[in-house]
Amino acid sequence: MDILDAVADTYRRQGPLRQHVAARSFLADLPADVVQEQLGTCLDAGVLVPGDQGTVRLCDRLKVAVLTRPVLAAWVQDARTAPGPLGGALTEGIRGELRALVRFCLAGTDDSQHRRAVELTAVLATATLDVQAIDVVSGLPGTTRSQLQDLAAVPEGSCRTTHELLARMRRYVTTEFVEVTG
Chain-centroid distance of CA 138 in Å reads: 16
Task: Give the pLDDT of residue 77.
Answer: 96
* DSSP string over 76-95: HHHHHHS-THHHHHHHHHHH
In the chain, where the domains are located: 3-64, 67-181
Task: Give the pLDDT of residue 7.
Answer: 93
CATH class for the domain made up of 3-64: mainly alpha
The one-digit pLDDT tens for each residue of the chain (182 residues) are 699 999 999 999 999 888 899 988 998 888 999 999 999 999 999 999 998 888 999 999 999 999 999 999 999 999 999 998 999 999 999 999 999 999 999 998 888 999 999 999 999 999 999 999 998 888 777 788 888 888 888 899 999 999 999 888 876 544 444 444 44
